[in-house]
Chains A and B, each alone.
Chain A
């Protein structure tokens, strides 16, 4: 709990210090990073804490985004729209997840991919409502009751605070009985079942929470970007968020968020230098796999544990290797 508090204080300091050093462009980029970090954490939750590798998570992001875009034409209340995004994407996650979680890992990967692609095609084909391939602009304006939020700085703080709130909620979840049990199921399903746990309930719970949160990230993105298109649900995007999670570090919460920052930054950086950024990105991925050794956060933790280990030399030899990265989560 103390560690969580410390982490949160650091995050708040970060969010409020950044505008002091960032340009307008930087503020905009950071805002996008916060949203993507929420999205990446939602996927990181099922990948790292429930062992479910989904390649269709952008499906939920798209649902959230289109909820704000489409229903936002008739409903102005921000709270209601965000709630609707969460509920709709959560419900769809619940219903589809009930089928998906019955399958084994490769199936899960493929089915979720098909699911995301289905939504992509649906947003494409339901042209009367969604504008089809051209996408649609978002008329709803972010307003939490303190006036309309339209300035880059306003968006920045909203998304920064949202990121912190959802980080805390996710942290609480992974420490909660349900979270710990889900992790146990990921490691050893047969044993958890024999201990008396209904494993499907926990998997479905994690999947639903994750889908709902991805939907919320999508909804925030719709407000931020004021434009939505089917690509938000495409497999490219699903793949990208998975890449964020993996390069950041599976099995942690802040890892995926870190991965999102690096990915979005690189994407922006590279696309200003070369049109061929997908190729560069692909090459980076291949290189990352070949270098092999977890995500960025694991490197940080590894560095830290080396440091701590060196400091400890001379002390009594402990039974247990240095606790890796408990503070960095």
Chain B
């Protein structure tokens, strides 16, 4: 039982990481109709940036902050320079973001090599919390906490703020938003940078759990795409539930039938799509 609970926590922690990265992807898709195949690479980049700072004796939290800032800035620059030229052009988006992921991933390999690295768990969170006979690693609890905090923040932004209203309207009716005199371009840039920042954040937080290695960007991208598909395009709530489900099922699956965990995740996606082609929380296409 206690092993099961510990695994459940691990699954939840992974789920929260998936949520953090998938939510950026899904919001960018929902608001801007852009599919960003470089999203997984931004995740990886965040982790490597933090890795460099931590190696330079920078405190984990400062490194986290710096990595998030830098990925946000990169996202901002990319949107301003490149992404904004290809709104509404699906093929171009695929080509461009695919090209970007090539460039960034190769640059990472160039700078940091192909060895596998991990980030250290920050000292403050290196212990574990014992409840009964089960020891819960503090760091995993912390990741779950941050995930829930993000969900709360998104809920607050969506329902209580003007930005949320704009973004919601943008998802539903872009023409109306511009008619209201709102600078759609600015909103888009902001959303893209926010998504990039979340990718960076999850990369750093995932560093101590998943580590960093060549090819992780595509793995994480695929997992988050599955989360987005299951949850429904543009829905952060869908991503939240989808990510937790995938995190838990994948973790338990790895324990119970190690060779088929990916198959389980894929089958879940197929079943969801057969029942609801638009995903759990996706809007019906009229």
The answer on direct contact between A and B (beta carbons under 8 Å) is yes
- Please give the residue numbers on chain A whose beta carbons come within 8 Å of chain B beta carbons, in ascending order: 53, 55, 96, 99-100, 102-107, 109-111, 113-115, 117-118, 121-122, 125-126, 234-236, 239, 242-243, 246, 250, 276, 278-279, 281-286, 288-290, 292
Of A99, A117, A243, A292, the residue contacting B218 (CB under 8 A) is A117
CB distance from B21 to the nearest CB of A (A): 14
Question: Are A115 and B100 in contact (CB-based, < 8 A)?
Answer: no
Binary A-proximity of B209-244 (CB < 8 A = 1, otherwise 0): 000000000110110011011000100000000000
Question: Please, how many angstroms separate the alpha-carbon atoms of A100 and B105 in the complex?
Answer: 29
Give Cα A144–Cα B262 distance, bound, in whole angstroms: 38
Known contacts A234-B218, A276-B106, A110 near B229 by CB under 8 Å: yes
Chain A residues with CB below 8 A from B100, complex form = 282, 286
Q: List 27 A-B contacts (CB under 8 A).
A: A106-B29, A107-B229, A107-B277, A109-B35, A110-B35, A110-B225, A110-B228, A111-B269, A117-B218, A125-B258, A125-B260, A126-B259, A242-B98, A250-B91, A278-B103, A278-B106, A281-B102, A282-B99, A285-B96, A286-B82, A286-B100, A288-B95, A289-B82, A289-B85, A289-B92, A289-B99, A292-B92
A283 close to B99 (CB less than 8 A): yes
**Interface size band for B:** 35 or more
With a cutoff of 8 Å between Cβ atoms, the chain B residues found around residue A104 in the complex are: 278, 285
Chain B nearest CB, measured from A255 CB (Å): 13
Q: Flag if A114 contacts B103 (CB, 8 Å).
A: no
From residue A106, how far is it (CB to closest CB) to chain B in Å? 6
Task: Tell me the minimal C-beta distance from A250 to chain B in angstroms.
Answer: 7
Bound-state Cα–Cα, A243 to B274, Å: 30
A247 CA to B219 CA in the complex, in Å?
Answer: 26
Q: Which residues of A contact B219 (CB under 8 A)?
A: 117
Complex contacts, B101 vs chain A, CB 8 Å: 282
Docked CA distance A98–B167 (Å) = 34
Q: Which residue of B lies closest to A127 (CB)?
A: B259
Q: Known A122-B263, A246-B91; judge A282-B103 contact (CB<8 A).
A: yes
- How far, in whole Å, are A273 and B206 apart by their CA atoms in the complex? 36
B142 at the interface (CB under 8 A from A): no
Q: How far is the CA of A236 from the CA of B270 in the complex (A)?
A: 22
B259 (CB) vs chain A CBs: closest residue:
A125
CB of B90 closer than 8 Å to a CB of A: yes
Task: Tell me the bound Cα distance from A234 to B214 in angstroms.
Answer: 14
Q: Confirm or deny: B182 has a beta carbon within 8 angstroms of a beta carbon on chain A.
A: no
Cβ–Cβ < 8 Å partners of B35 in chain A = 106, 109-110
Residue of A nearest to B270 (CB): A99
Min distance, Cβ A261 to any Cβ of chain B, angstroms: 18
Q: Are B105 and A103 in contact (CB under 8 A)?
A: no
Check if B4 is an interface residue, CB within 8 A of chain A: no
- Determine if B66 is an interface residue (Cβ-Cβ < 8 Å): no
Residue pair A105, B90 in contact (C-beta under 8 Å): yes
B262 lies within 8 A of A289 (CB): no
Closest 3 CB pairs of A and B: A285-B99, A282-B102, A282-B103
